[in-house]
Amino acid sequence: MKQMPAPNPRELRARYPDVFDRPAAAKLATPAMALVAFAVFIFGLVDLDFSPSRFFNGLHQLGWITLLMLPPDPGSSLPLYLKSLGETLSIALLGTTLAALAALPVSLFAAHNIVPTIIRFPVRRFLDSIRGVDTLIWALVWINVVGLGPFAGVLAIAVSDFGAFGKLFSEAIEAADQKQVEGIRASGGSAMHEIRFGLLPQVLPVIAGQVLYFIESNTRSATIIGIVGAGGIGLQLAEQIRVLEWQKVSFLILMILIAVAVIDWISSKLRFAIIGRRAVA
């Protein structure tokens, strides 16, 4: 057996200058970027009043709080908390459904295979600006309009999801196969027929999957809009945190975690049943 000749480093260097002698700009690019990122990070820490003493004091406090949270105990308010949890789930379900119903027609006007760009562009930007505003802000606005309570929460979730759904649905519509639409047109169908029989059968399963996914993620959003007064379990949570009832706080957090896990499980089962194993949003 013949041994491979040992490579000559000098010769290799001469043959592949791109690998061994990279220009200084290419060599320095990554460290320079890392340095800039790190500098901004340090600047941020200073500007945001970080100090080691504050940090460790806080950690100390946090340790105490964690100890005080054990064991989780609802006291005598368990029925109230269960009712609030029900309220939260209701808010998520109703808000998402309302948003989906409102977004379906609008999303048609944001899909490029249905309407010309001149209509699509402003509709898209409109949906983008709705999405740019957080659910909590919408909740504050609706509280101004319909007063404190879970109804404001429903409307807040409905509005902010309307923006998200409009975008997602229109993307689903754009991804749909055009051949079936052409088939309907070829057999003499009108524009409405094309949408009803050519598009909807393709996009409805995708949309159903997305709606279910949002019901799931809105359970999380619905837990927090109570913090600004829009009903649900977040209201109780914020109140108990403010009065430092840590055992109740940990119980409420536990309730939220369990509720979210249960909803996750149900909705993933349902999604598989509706759209099959292949595509999960």
Partner 1 sequence: MTSAVAILPSQQLAVLNEAYRKAVARKRLRFALGTVVFLVALVVAAFGAEVNLRTFFTYLGNFISYFDRIGKLDTGARVWTDFGEWFWGWQKWLKLLGETLLISYVGTLIGAVNAFLLNFLAAENTSPAPWLRLLVRRLLEFARTVPGIVFALIFVIAFGLGPMAGVLAIAIHSTGALGKLFSEIVENADMKPVEGVRSTGASWVSCMRFAVLPQVIAGYASYALLRFEINVREASVMGFVGAGGIGQELVVAIRKFYYSDVSAILITIILAVFIIDIATGWLRGRLFGREARP
Cα dist from 116 to 2, 91, 120, 122, 247, whole Å: 70, 36, 6, 11, 58
Instruction: Decide if residue 154 touches partner 1 (CB under 8 A).
Output: yes
Q: What x/- string results for residues 74 through 113 when contact with partner 1 is judged by CB under 8 A? A: ------------xx-xxx-xx--x----------------
Q: What x/- string results for residues 249 through 268 when contact with partner 1 is judged by CB under 8 A? A: x---x--xx--xx-------
The b/e string for 198-230 (b: 16+ C-beta within 10 A; e otherwise) is: bbeeebeebbbbbbbbbbbbbbebbbbbbbbbb
Is residue 231 left, alpha or beta, with left meaning phi > 0 and alpha meaning psi from -120 to 50?
left
Q: Residue 203 Cβ, how far from partner 1 at the closest point, in Å?
A: 17
Tokens of 199: 């598009």
Check residue 72 and report its DSSP letter: P
Segment interacting with partner 1 (CB under 8 A) among 4-12, 138-146, 183-191, 196-204? 138-146
Closest CA to 150 of 235, 219, 255: 235
Segment interacting with partner 1 (CB under 8 A) among 11-19, 112-120, 134-142, 183-191? 134-142
Q: What are phi and psi of 109, to 5 degrees?
A: -80, 0
Q: Choose which of 49, 76, 179, 186 interacts with partner 1 (CB under 8 A).
A: 49
Q: Choose which of 27, 54, 196, 269 interacts with partner 1 (CB under 8 A).
A: 54
Cα dist from 87 to 148, 223, 251, 260, 264, whole Å: 14, 10, 17, 14, 18
Cβ proximity to partner 1: between 73 and 191 the closer is: 73
Cβ proximity to partner 1: between 16 and 41 the closer is: 41
Binding site for partner 1 (CB under 8 A): 37, 40-41, 43-45, 47-50, 54-55, 57-59, 61-62, 65, 86-87, 89-91, 93-94, 97, 128-129, 132-134, 136-137, 140-142, 144-147, 149-151, 153-155, 220-221, 223-224, 227-228, 231, 237-238, 241, 244, 249, 253, 256-257, 260-261
